[in-house]
Amino acid sequence: MSPLLEVHDLHVEIPVPHGHLHAVRGVSLTVDAGESIGVVGESGSGKSITLRALLGLLPQPAQVTKGSIVLDGVDVTGLPERRRTKVLTDAMSMIFQDSLTALNPVMRVGDQIAEVPRRRLGMSKSAAHARAVELMDQVGIPEPERRFRAYPHQLSGGMRQRVCIAIALSAEPRLILADEPTTALDVTIQAQVLEVIDRLRRDRRLGVILVSHDLAVISQTCSRIYVMYAGRVIESGRIGDLLALARHPYTFALLRAVPDPDLPVHRLLTIPGQPPDLAAVPAGCSFAPRCAFAEPGCYEVDPALTPVPDDPDHASACIRVETAPQWLDWTPADVLDLVEKT
Amino acid sequence: MTVISVPGSATDTVVPTTRRRRKHNVLLIVGLTLFGLLVLAAILAPVLASHDPIQQDLANARLAPGSPGHLLGTDELGRDIYSRLLYGARIDLRVGVLAVVSPFIIGTVLGLVSGWFGGWLDTVIMRIVDVVVAFPFFVLVIALVFALGAGTGSIYVAITMVGWVAYCRIVRGEVLVAKEQEYALAARASGLPTWRILFRHLLPNVVLQAVIYSMSDIVLTILAIVTLGYLGLGVPPPTPDWGSMIQDGQQFLLTQWYLATIPGIAVVITGLALALIADGLVDRFDRR
Amino acid sequence: MTVTVDKPPRTHGTDEVLGVEGLVQHFIGRRSWTDRLTRTPEHVVKAVDGVDLTLATGETLGLVGESGCGKSTLSRCIMGLYQPNAGQVRYAGEPVRGLPTRAQRRTVQMVFQDPYSSLNPRMTVGQTLGELLRYHRIVPRNQVAARSHELMDLVGLPHDALRRTPRQFSGGQRQRIGIARALALQPRVLIADEPVSALDVSVQATIINLLTDLRESLGLSMVFVSHNIAVVRQVSDRIAVMYRGRIVETGPTEQIFNDPRHPYTQLLLASVPRMLSSTTDGHPIDATESLGTADPLAVVDGEPDADESPYSAHAIEGEHGCRYRPRCPVAMPACVDEPGLLPIAHDPTRAAACWHVDDDRKDEPR
């Protein structure tokens, strides 16, 4: 059986004065029905742009310059634009970070949820109303009948994000794209909203692509993870494998740069420097200038994402991928030494 | 958990972010050059002019441009248009710029104070603004000039009394936004005196919009002088100014179109120069 | 070799550098004259509603809470950016009357949240620092440049940064500049209001480490305000948890994390997303298996609607009692009386604003 969605070698470029900003540089990913995958990366890594490119929601003047999207084993890239948009929007819905701006401020939330069933699915007014209330109930909005009549600003952040999820579900998608859906929410509410998304995934066998900067959020809700850096996927694999033994120095460092609420440490590992300017990406591995483990060869070739020895599901774009197990054994002094050298 | 510690300080290197601004600000340069030429022409009017601008010569009235001795022709009283244009620039640019400077300063300071302190001070200033705004600009200016007596002095005073409200509103609005910015809080938190925060920290960040508005305001003021001239409240004849030249030329529009058109073009060029400067300033200084 | 570095215990004096007593900061919504005519009641936002705090020399206090709980308002009151309605702020034992004096300003300084708006875009770094050094006469005029260089060294920026304007720096670098600006006045206390929440995770670590270093090398005391509980645990010796304008629990970091006493603290700690523990390491995970938070506490639903927003809810006439009661799973009739911070019997360094404080319930956070 073919996966629900496959993306192959997606490239997105944004024209800027004097050239192009290569925001996404060859991203490939797959999602199965009922599977939740995470895309993690820092700002500018291209994670949100990738998501938007899938739905044709790229901000002007960004453009997909290369790549293919395969839905249920059918390549939709070659379809005429209108047909392709229809196929993609029928299959996927998106949830945004800021629920306040994602909702129409002058329309009752219930009407916003009922809009797609009524207009696109052709339901009667009362059926659409009933459907909206049902969806609100499914995303855990208490007293859905009462809140149907509320305007977005009258609801709390958590409730608004649930409304957004209900709207996303109203089109009966098979895949949900969630762009930092809980970043704007308080931590106690975040847990609830993630729980709603996870429950829907299980109950409806939805595919979920969750984009976040928060590794912990992704580790709790996704089974597989793609780590993005400077517009590329630099490591991918099952979440447990990645957390146990990251095969790319960026992932390795990122995991140790985030404080653990249960295990405070004296010092956090830091990543020196900044991501490269995507308008002029230097030759070689884009992480090399910041990498504690970089060697001369890293500045010459940009390694492709290749499977790790003995684990075909785990891939890393690092030429030192085979020595990764030894990284764990390095002493602080070793790393210090390497940092000094670079 | 394995923990590797690495010193955290001194790791970032300073990489200047790519400047998205153009290196050579073409708009600003062209605008300033154009405006500079106009100012230069006004200053050098006695040298550049070929005739006395008020000297009448009825025998050579309404000559077409390009006539011998009269580069741009003569008006209905036989005065040399080219010379009148140059002398007119002296009056118009001076009145235009001066009549904008004082409303700019008064409006900016009141806007700063009003926006920063708020409370009753803001209420009082904004009520005064409301009163001034309630009257059409020209009605108020004309009434004031009428009360003060015609002449350039009255024009300055009248335009200042009416014109400051625009600057006050613009600056106040900008201050309301800027004072909640953390840099303004930081300046307060570090105990700097209020006047210093207002003029050193806020003013440079809020004044740009007012400066841009002032560019178009200069053109509006020149047009205001035209209107006042029409009512006999402007620059008294026979002193040449572009407004009265347009006014006088209007009646010959069908036969000698250039009488009104040439000074009109001068106004347009001035407006264009100022608009270019305004756009150039945005490019140069807008950091948002 | 695997090395585990424990957080070294730090000793600090018991003398108070910063004190807050009974602080109240209410914001009254603007009332138009039509509101007055129609006798519409004033809209009062009780952002800070009676807070007591003390900060000892060399100590770092983590102030945690969710958006709208009043933690930012509290830190701004401490900074003298607002004039509190009631209560007192003390700098080094000396009460602040009205706004802090020029000398008092030097005692407490602040690091702001947004590195993009907290620096004046029209001043170079050198101008920003030089202005403060001169105005407060920190060093003689001829040593301003030298002192600016020292400040750059302190925060790990090159000296030529002084000649640049903020827009030429990345977020992390700007936050270093913000720290240098606060340090220019040689304060004894640093108030850090969400200093890393606007930064990328890898950059967060460098700023956290920098603050930790500076605290140790300069002997600074710090109030670290954040909604990020993991970060707060990383930097704080002691924690104060805020909920709707009040502190509901306070105590040493470790004890609070090991045994939270207030039901809100318990919910907060249980809700923090955690990396999968080592038990699942290396094992493939069934995609259909639930990976959500299993703790029933985490799915307590009780978030108020926005029009019953956190602060205004309590301002409604006649509403009284414990402010957490509507969400609380262990509320009881006694909760109609709001408890103050009650000391915990076996541990005098801790207190919680809950009648259940000494119940021998072992509610572990996870």
Q: Which helix (H) or strand (E) element contains residue A38?
A: strand A36-40
CA distance B201 to B143: 39
Number of Cα atoms under 13 Å in the Cβ half of residue A61: 7
Strand-strand pairing, C60-64 and C238-243: parallel
Q: Looking up tokens 């034992």, which residue turns up?
A: C93
Q: Are residues A212 and A270 in the same domain?
A: no
Residue C84 lies inside a defined structural domain of this protein: yes
| CA distance, residue C49 to nearest chain A CA (Å) | 21
Task: Report the CATH superfamily, name and number, of domain B24-285.
Answer: MetI-like (1.10.3720.10)
Is residue C156's pLDDT more than 60? yes
Based on the domain organization, do C155 and C76 belong to the same domain?
yes
* Whether residue C213 is found in the same domain as residue C336: no
Q: Please tell me the distance in Å from A159's CA to the nearest CA on chain C.
A: 8
Return phi, psi of residue B206, to 5°.
-110, -10
CA distances from B271 to B22, B166, B212, B214, B222 (A): 24, 19, 13, 12, 10
Q: Report if residue C173 sits inside a domain.
A: yes
Task: Quickly state the pLDDT bin for C289 (edges 50, 70, 90).
Answer: very low
* Same domain, yes or no: A48 and A143: yes
- Picking from A274, A328, A336, the nearest residue to B6 by CB comes out as A336
A61 prior amide bond cis, ω within 30: yes
A218 and A314 share one domain? no
Does residue C280 lie in a domain region? yes
> CA A119, A122, A128 angle in degrees (round to 5)?
80
The model's pLDDT over B77-99, given as tens digits with 9 standing for 90+, comes to: 777 878 888 888 888 888 888 88
Predicted pLDDT at A331: 53
CATH (domain of A326)? 3.40.50.300
> Whole-angstrom Cα distance, residue C315 to residue B105?
44
Total domains present in chain C: 2
Strands C86-91 and C246-252 come out as unpaired
Task: Assess whether A96 and A124 both reside in one domain.
Answer: yes
* Domain assignment present for C7: no
Beta carbons of A240 and C280 less than 8 Å apart:
yes
Q: Which of C215, C247, C279 is the last residue of a domain?
A: C247
A43 and A101 assigned to the same domain: yes
Domain chopping of chain B, boundaries: 24-285
Q: Is the dihedral of CA A97, A99, A105, A111 positive or negative?
A: positive
C199 and C55 within one domain: yes
Q: Do residues A174 and A274 share a domain?
A: no
C93 and C230 fall within a common domain: yes
The interface pTM score, or ipTM, of the predicted complex is 0.83
> Does A236 lie in the same domain as A206?
no
CATH classification of the domain holding C57: 3.40.50.300
For residues C327-363, one letter each, b for 16 or more C-beta atoms within 10 angstroms of the residue's C-beta and e for the rest, the string is: bbeebeeebeebbebbebeeeeebbbbbbbbeeeeeb
**C344 in any annotated domain:** yes
Per-residue pLDDT of A204-257, as tens digits, reads 999 999 999 888 899 988 999 999 999 999 999 999 888 888 889 899 888 888
- Kindly tell me the burial class for residue A241, based on how many C-beta atoms sit within 10 Å of its own C-beta (0-12, 13-18, 19 or more): buried
Asked if B12's CB is within 8 angstroms of A273's CB, the reply is yes
CA pair distance B250, B257, nearest whole angstrom: 8
Give the one of A263, A270, A273 whose C-beta lies nearest to B8's C-beta.
A270
Dihedral through CA C311, CA C312, CA C318, CA C319, nearest 10? Answer: -40
| Residues C161 and C303 grouped into a single domain | no
Q: Both C218 and C306 in a single domain?
A: no
Determine the pLDDT at residue A228.
94
Distance separating alpha carbons of residues C339 and A225, to the nearest angstrom: 46
Structure confidence by residue, pLDDT tens digits, C247-282: 999 999 999 999 899 999 999 998 888 887 543 333
Q: Which residues of C touch A219 (CB under 8 A)?
A: 273-276
CA-to-CA separations, B34 to B262, B273, B277, C30, C135, in angstroms, rounded = 17, 6, 10, 49, 43
What's the pLDDT band for A334 if we cut at 50, 70, 90?
low
Chains interfacing with B (3 or more CB pairs < 8 Å)? A, C
Instruction: Give which of B273, B270, B242 is closest to B72, Cα–Cα.
Output: B242
Q: What's the pLDDT tens digit per position in C87-113?
A: 999 998 889 888 888 888 889 999 999
> Structurally, how many domains does chain A consist of?
2
Chain A within 8 Å of C284 (Cβ-Cβ)? yes
A26 and A160 both lie in a single domain:
yes
Give residue C316's domain range.
259-363
Instruction: Let me know whether A238 and A292 are in one domain.
Output: yes
Pairing of strands A5-16, C44-56: unpaired
Please say whether the beta carbons of B12 and C173 come within 8 A.
yes
For chain A, say whether C312 makes contact (Cβ under 8 Å).
no
Measured over the CA atoms of residue B156, residue B159, residue B160 and residue B163, the dihedral's sign is negative
Same domain (yes/no): A250, A282: yes
**In a shared domain, residues A72 and A136:** yes
A303-308: Cβ within 8 A, 24+ apart:
A305/A28, A305/A232, A305/A233, A305/A234, A305/A235, A305/A236, A308/A237, A308/A247
Distance CA A50, CA A29 (A): 10
Inter-residue contact B177 to B141 (CB < 8 Å)? no
**In this structure, are A195 and A232 located in the same domain?**
no
Give the domain range for residue A201: 5-222
